[in-house]
A = this chain, B = another copy of it.
Amino acid sequence: MGPRLSTDERLASVVGRSPSIATLCSHSSLQIFHGARIEGLGAIGLCVGEPPRFYDAFPLARPDRFLSVPRVRDLPTLESPLRDAGAVIVPHGSFVEYLGPEAFGALDVPVFGNRAVLGWESDREKEREWLEAAGVPMPNRYADASEVDGPVIVKYYGAKGGKGFFLAKNREALADFHPTGPYVIQEYVLGTRYYMHFFYSPISDGGYRVGTGSLELLGMDRRDEANIDELYKLGAQEELLRAGLRPTFVVTGNVPVILRESLLPKAFEVAARIVEKSIELFGGMVGPFCVEGIMTEELEYKVFEISTRIVAGTNLFVSGSPYSDLIAPDLSTGRRIAQELKHARAAGRLAEVLS
């Protein structure tokens, strides 16, 4: 199942007019609307039920209008009003997750970025194939517990929100793991986590060249996870497990962070290879993406995940980050998306940033 309209037909709805930016009212929507408004574009909030009241508290980020449906699965009924409004949908993690990658990919509304990336990101095996083909260093995977030669994290397939993980400091400790479903055993890399917010523009003609365009670094964060981040305050994990308290990894927020400058070349190389391979595999990723990994004591950066859309950690940098401040003042990822849309339109290259 895919969209019924051809890309050209879909994009016709935004040609010759100033586009509006539409997204689901959650995740990073405040920042996306704020960016649209600064750049003089319209902002449309999509919501299930009543518009969230909290927008009233943020006058600079409030969308111009809301389009509401009774249930998530009714969102596709907004296709026609969205096209009429000249809307471009900006995907974010919650939007795609709530609607499902298939239904999202079938929306007959112009989407910012290449919707083909959905099939590669939502499938862990395909994502790994992509990253490995790009030569990105990743944590090992073990086909069997007997191969384990260091600390590991065991993840059940489909484990939601950071629950259902099992940590083992070595093969011996893994003996306590009694699987209740299909799982994967992954190397647990020791180090510090960096979530790097990149932006790839296929139409930019300056900057750090990758493919036909340029690669930008807009910010960096670290995720807050409950309960693992503060669990240690209560005692040793081994003792807590005995008391029935297990570590969980549910994302609750974000803190700002920067990386040693001498590691930036490595970070850009990894991100560039991911973009280059995406061009080869499916016509390229466009716009924001996040490279999520661990810097080890050997200063190796192991990537455990990528997000091919705006991530919530960018919400820290509504008015710029220590990285984007070196590009332009007050540049958030949300604002950068709006700029890209304007640049593409001015250059008559909308088809390269929309799908």
Contact = CB atoms under 8 A, between A and B. Distances in A.
B207 A26 contact: no
Nearest to A218: B57
B238 A57 contact: no
A258 B188 CA distance: 27
A70 to B, nearest CB: 18
Contacts of A194: 252-253
A5 interface: no
Contacts of A328: 60
A73 interface: no
Copies per complex? Answer: 3
A232 to B, nearest CB: 4
Given A169-B245, A258-B253, A61 B227 contact: no
A78 interface: no
Interface in A255-308: 255-265, 268, 295-297, 299
Centre residue among A226, A312, A328 by max chain B CB count within 10 A: A226
A237 interface: yes
Nearest to A317: B322
B326 A322 contact: no
A34 B190 contact: no
A320 interface: yes
A131 interface: no
Given A226-B296, A262-B26, A295-B252, A169 B240 contact: yes
25 contacts: A26-B262, A27-B260, A53-B265, A53-B268, A59-B206, A59-B327, A167-B233, A169-B243, A170-B244, A190-B245, A191-B227, A192-B226, A192-B252, A226-B295, A227-B297, A236-B236, A236-B239, A248-B297, A250-B297, A253-B257, A256-B316, A261-B312, A318-B325, A318-B326, A319-B320
Interface of A: 26-30, 34, 52-54, 56-61, 94, 151, 161-163, 167, 169-170, 172-173, 188, 190-194, 206-209, 214-217, 220, 222, 224-240, 243-245, 247-248, 250-265, 268, 295-297, 299, 312, 315-320, 322-323, 325-329
The 8 A-B residue pairs whose C-beta atoms are closest, nearest first, are: A236-B236, A58-B326, A190-B227, A57-B208, A191-B226, A248-B297, A61-B326, A252-B295
